[in-house]
Chain A
Amino acid sequence: MAGTNRFSDVGVILARGFLGGVFVYASLDKIAHPDALAEIIFNYKILPDVLINLAAMTLPWVELLAGLTLISGRATAASAAILTGLTLAFSVAISYNLARGLDFHCGCFTTSPSAARAGWYTLGLELVLMLVGGICLIAAGRRQAASVPPSRA
């Protein structure tokens, strides 16, 4: 069974590296272009005007810090929960706007106006990221449970 555990440990490390890396990469262009990100957030037509600029200033830093924390292997449950929560929020927002036929940019990895419009494939990507986030979160919980002495279990 040790071999299986080692295999799943490597899988979890890869999952953490993948999810963290995706969010770190996704945050960089948004940090560089907050004005373009704010415009994209406005075009989602979900947040009230008073929260749009605050979200554009803060959201990329949440992605960057949580992504780096997840990659580092420290506080993996906290960072995986944040990133899974973000993918859930993005999935709901994208689904809602696709369902009501809005023509909008995802803003997932780039703020460029020439990027492709959001589509159902964008939602598919978010769901894959959410699945990986869920795996990281469950793995963090199991690791914690396994480290608790039997008398406390």
Chain B
Amino acid sequence: MGFWTRQALIALGLVGLALIVGLGVNFVRPEGLPLVQDWSETLARRAEERLPEGVAVLPPDRMAGLAGRADVVLLDARPRVFYELEHIPGAYSLPVEEAEGRIRDLLGRLGSGVRIVTYCGDPTCPAGRELAAKIRASGHPDVAVFLAGIEAWRAAGRPLAAGPDQGFPGG
């Protein structure tokens, strides 16, 4: 048997051994994983559990009524390129990685009676939740997150907008 053939068989053996050990350890572990799991559902549930104190969850049916209201500011927490491709009409772009530098500017333009609603792509995307937490920590009293995200908005057949951000209100 040639050198490389033997090494390939050893490599396959190592991977096979890892598979057996991994499955075996998981089997005896008290908190072992099921072999197959619906991760979308699991993470949607975890997303609600991980919400910081003082941040409300906005269900999809209530979201439709809030979009476009003058006392509600919608923030898209995804990277700007996704916002430009499509976003909920009336939303502003505030990617979570830019939040530190721009939240103060945003809050300076808003009254305390304004509700801020953040969203991301879907419940597994943490950016909407994280942006809401940062805004809440900056002192704004009324912050909510639309956890279902733009995927649910689109799936419900609601309208979408596209194009660059026009800047925060009052800017």
Knowing A42-B43, A58-B19, A101-B81, say if A53 contacts B34 (CB, 8 Å).
Answer: yes
Knowing A34-B26, A78-B11, say if A43 contacts B21 (CB, 8 Å).
Answer: no
Knowing A58-B18, A103-B79, say if A77 contacts B36 (CB, 8 Å).
Answer: no
Query: For residue B124, which residue of chain A has the nearest CB?
Result: A43
Residue A35 CB within 8 A of the other chain: yes
**Do the beta carbons of B22 and A57 come within 8 Å of each other?**
yes
Knowing A53-B35, A53-B37, A101-B81, say if A62 contacts B23 (CB, 8 Å).
Answer: no
Residue B33 CB within 8 A of the other chain: yes
Residue B17 CB within 8 A of the other chain: yes
Please, how many angstroms separate the alpha-carbon atoms of A80 and B39 in the complex? 32
Residue A69 CB within 8 A of the other chain: yes
Please, how many angstroms separate the alpha-carbon atoms of A50 and B37 in the complex? 7
Query: For residue B36, which residue of chain A has the nearest CB?
Result: A50
**Do the beta carbons of B35 and A54 come within 8 Å of each other?**
yes
Please, how many angstroms separate the alpha-carbon atoms of A140 and B22 in the complex? 28
> How far is the CB of A21 from the nearest CB of chain B, in Å?
17
Residue A56 CB within 8 A of the other chain: yes
Please, how many angstroms separate the alpha-carbon atoms of A66 and B15 in the complex? 8
Contacts of B97 in A (CB 8 A): 103, 117
**Do the beta carbons of B15 and A57 come within 8 Å of each other?**
no
Please, how many angstroms separate the alpha-carbon atoms of A75 and B23 in the complex? 24
Task: Give the interface size class of chain A.
Answer: 35 or more
**Do the beta carbons of B39 and A79 come within 8 Å of each other?**
no
Query: For residue B120, which residue of chain A has the nearest CB?
Result: A103
Contacts of B14 in A (CB 8 A): 62, 65-66, 69, 75, 78-79, 82
Contacts of B32 in A (CB 8 A): 34
> How far is the CB of A127 from the nearest CB of chain B, in Å?
22
Please, how many angstroms separate the alpha-carbon atoms of A77 and B46 in the complex? 42
> How far is the CB of A120 from the nearest CB of chain B, in Å?
13
Chain A CB within 10 A, most for which of B7, B21, B26, B46: B7
Query: For residue A49, which residue of chain B has the nearest CB?
Result: B39
Knowing A56-B33, A75-B10, A101-B79, say if A61 contacts B21 (CB, 8 Å).
Answer: yes
Other than the given A49-B36, A69-B14, 4 more pairs (CB < 8 A) read A49-B40, A66-B18, A81-B7, A101-B81
**Closest 4 A/B residue pairs (Cβ):** A61-B18, A78-B10, A58-B22, A57-B22
- 26 A–B pairs (Cβ distance < 8 Å), ordered by A: A34-B26, A34-B32, A34-B33, A43-B124, A49-B38, A49-B39, A49-B40, A52-B39, A54-B35, A58-B18, A58-B19, A58-B23, A61-B17, A61-B18, A61-B25, A62-B15, A77-B3, A77-B7, A78-B8, A78-B14, A101-B78, A101-B82, A103-B96, A103-B126, A140-B7, A144-B3
